[in-house]
């Protein structure tokens, strides 16, 4: 992704990203059965990382120098910082941790989060218009050490801006392009590519290599990314990179742009879970409650209450539910609630609401513990009053039974279904292409 150092509405942009993170968290919580374990773990890690980065504010811009053995990252790090702090040359491949230079006295929390050891921090730098810059010198991405490569893979997604340092001999390295640059294009992570060691080439050779590197970047999906030829050893060409860094740090938008790119990539992973133009619908909760009441025998109990107005006694009606009756109504509920949605949402709603056995146990327990209204006894000669008493006894019993059922259906069926639909709507909003432009 080509770095666009344009204002994106600092506070407003952060509010949008915070809101997007909240929506992602809701989706990850409620839509877990539909996402798949591997994607769920990867997106959860992305959301946690973005949340952590925004929590540390955007007053600092984290720039990581990444590249292979011999690319000259450490020399460039020292050139930018103006200090001989990072080890250069043949000793460098033995370095297994991250070094950092901070143009700030208040970057300790950020450096701690990045995992930079205190003895490898150079803080309190100033000048050159780089106030707020946190510059990282990473181990070699092509190191023979699994630990070193692990450090690179851990830190790269945490950086706000990646500066890929390549050299004329290994600029076409397969691993660099396949494992890293194509991934940067996919995630839209802000990036810069510099061609180092141009002091070893003629001017013509430098531009020929830069042109070929530009061709490879286009294949990687980074066609808008301009190559910066320079020599970290002599300083030639570094003023162009310094100008880019100064602009990035001054804009205070690169951190937000990096988070935006990560979340946009996560949204593309989940796009297949949305059917454009389909709005989820909540089934009629009152109809479900009435249907369960009938299946449980509440209407029979109400008829007995109506007769008790005349007879003075009512037959004891045992209220119970069969698993088959509940299963039928539960399946109908899920089918209506997911009508038109991609198939995985059937599983999501099925997991969200209580299972049949648990519903039956809770419903029967709720019906068994309520106090049923006592029918009023009215003499036969008071015909109109008795008729009203019969209707009241019937309806009061039905209402009491339905309230007991609603006390279970509400939190265990209605509420989780609404939450799943909210997650669907949130995801539908997140996967819109225009949401991340």
Question: For the chain, which domains are there?
Answer: 10-273 (3.40.50.300), 285-436 (no CATH)
Q: Give residue 307's pLDDT band: very low, low, confident or very high (50, 70, 90).
A: confident
Q: pLDDT value at position 92?
A: 46
Rounded-to-integer distance, Cα 62 and Cα 226, Å: 20
- Over range 318-325, report the average pLDDT: 90
**pLDDT score of 351 more than 90:** yes
Helix (H, G, I), strand (E, B) or coil at 196: coil
Rounded-to-integer distance, Cα 429 and Cα 424, Å: 9
Rounded-to-integer distance, Cα 181 and Cα 68, Å: 13
**First vs last Cα of the chain: how many Å apart?**
13
Mind listing the pLDDT tens digit for each residue in 97-148? Answer: 899 999 999 999 999 999 999 999 999 998 778 999 999 999 988 887 888 8
- Over range 85-95, report the average pLDDT: 54
Helix (H) / strand (E) element for 246: namely helix 238-251
Q: pLDDT value at position 4?
A: 41
Helices (H), 297-322: 298-311
Report the length, in residues, of the chain: 437
DSSP 94: G
Q: pLDDT value at position 374?
A: 80
Mind listing the pLDDT tens digit for each residue in 191-216? Answer: 999 999 999 999 999 999 999 999 99
In percent, the amount of the chain with pLDDT more than 90 equals 65
Helix (H) / strand (E) element for 193: namely strand 191-195
Are 297 and 218 in contact by the 8 Å Cβ rule? The answer is: no
CA-wise closest residue to 309 among 384, 401, 399, 403:
384
Rounded-to-integer distance, Cα 321 and Cα 300, Å: 13
CA-wise closest residue to 241 among 80, 91, 105, 38:
80
Q: pLDDT value at position 7?
A: 38
**pLDDT score of 375 more than 80:** no
Mind listing the pLDDT tens digit for each residue in 214-234? Answer: 999 999 999 888 899 999 999
Average pLDDT, the chain: 88
Q: Give residue 372's pLDDT band: very low, low, confident or very high (50, 70, 90).
A: confident
CB atoms within 10 A of CB 4: 12
In percent, the amount of the chain with pLDDT more than 70 equals 91
Torsion over CA: 377, 383, 384, 388 (sign): positive
Contacts 24+ apart (CB under 8 A), 36-45: 39/269, 39/270, 42/269, 43/266, 43/269, 43/270
**pLDDT score of 426 more than 90:** yes
Helix (H, G, I), strand (E, B) or coil at 161: strand
**pLDDT score of 88 more than 70:** no
**pLDDT score of 3 more than 90:** no
User: CB burial class (10 A; 0-12, 13-18, 19+) of residue 294?
Assistant: middle
Are 293 and 402 in contact by the 8 Å Cβ rule? The answer is: yes
Q: pLDDT value at position 59?
A: 84
Q: pLDDT value at position 87?
A: 58
**pLDDT score of 378 more than 70:** no
The DSSP annotation for 392-434 comes to HHHHHHHHHHHHHHHHHHIIIIIHHHHHHHHHHHHHHHHT-GG
Of 233-242, 275-284, 317-326, 415-424, the one with minimum mean pLDDT is 317-326
Q: pLDDT value at position 94?
A: 47
Confidence (pTM): 0.76
Mind listing the pLDDT tens digit for each residue in 382-424? Answer: 667 767 887 888 899 999 999 999 999 999 999 999 999 999 9
Helices (H), 134-180: 146-155, 174-175
- Over range 142-171, report the average pLDDT: 90
Q: pLDDT value at position 255?
A: 86
Strands 99-102 and 133-137: antiparallel
- Over range 312-335, report the average pLDDT: 87
Q: pLDDT value at position 186?
A: 86
Are 176 and 254 in contact by the 8 Å Cβ rule? The answer is: no
């Amino acid at each position: 992704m080509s770095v666009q150092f344009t204002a994106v509405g600092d506070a407003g942009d952060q509010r949008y990203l915070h809101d997007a993170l909240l929506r992602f968290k809701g989706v990850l919580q409620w839509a877990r059965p539909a996402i798949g374990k591997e994607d769920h773990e990867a997106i959860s890690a992305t959301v946690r990382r973005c949340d952590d980065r925004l929590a540390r504010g955007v007053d600092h811009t984290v720039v990581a120098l990444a590249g292979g053995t011999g690319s000259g990252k450490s020399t460039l790090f020292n050139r930018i910082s103006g200090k001989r702090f990072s080890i250069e040359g043949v000793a460098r491949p033995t370095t297994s941790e991250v070094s950092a230079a901070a143009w700030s006295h208040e970057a300790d929390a950020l450096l701690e989060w990045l995992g930079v050891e205190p003895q490898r921090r150079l803080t309190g730098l100033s000048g050159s218009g780089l106030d707020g810059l946190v510059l990282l010198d990473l181990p070699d991405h092509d190191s023979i050490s699994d630990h070193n490569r692990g450090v690179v893979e851990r830190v790269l997604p945490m950086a706000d801006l990646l500066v890929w340092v390549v050299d004329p001999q290994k600029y076409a390295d397969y691993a660099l392009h396949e494992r890293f640059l194509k991934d940067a294009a996919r995630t839209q992570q802000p990036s810069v590519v510099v061609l180092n060691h141009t002091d070893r080439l003629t001017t013509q050779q430098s531009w020929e290599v830069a042109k070929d590197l530009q061709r490879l970047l286009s294949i990687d999906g980074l066609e808008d990314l301009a190559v910066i030829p320079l020599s970290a050893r002599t300083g030639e060409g570094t003023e162009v990179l310094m100008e880019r860094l100064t602009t990035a740090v001054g804009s205070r938008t690169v951190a937000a742009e990096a988070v935006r790119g990560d979340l946009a990539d996560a949204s593309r992973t989940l796009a297949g879970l949305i059917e454009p133009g389909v709005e989820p619908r909540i089934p009629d909760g009152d109809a479900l409650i009435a249907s369960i009441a009938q299946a449980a025998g509440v209407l029979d109990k109400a008829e007995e209450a109506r007769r008790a107005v005349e007879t003075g006694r009512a037959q004891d009606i045992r209220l119970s539910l069969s698993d088959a009756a509940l299963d039928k109504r539960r399946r109908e509920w899920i089918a209506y609630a997911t009508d038109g949605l991609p198939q995985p949402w059937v599983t999501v709603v099925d997991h969200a609401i209580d299972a049949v056995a648990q519903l039956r146990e809770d419903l029967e327990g709720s019906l068994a513990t309520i106090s049923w209204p006592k029918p009023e006894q009215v003499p036969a000669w008071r015909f109109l009053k008795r008729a009203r008493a019969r209707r009241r006894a019937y309806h009061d019993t039905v209402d009491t039974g339905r309230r007991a059922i609603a006390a279970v259906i509400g939190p265990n069926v209605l509420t989780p279904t609404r939450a799943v639909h909210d997650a669907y709507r949130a995801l539908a909003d997140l996967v819109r292409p225009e949401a991340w432009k």
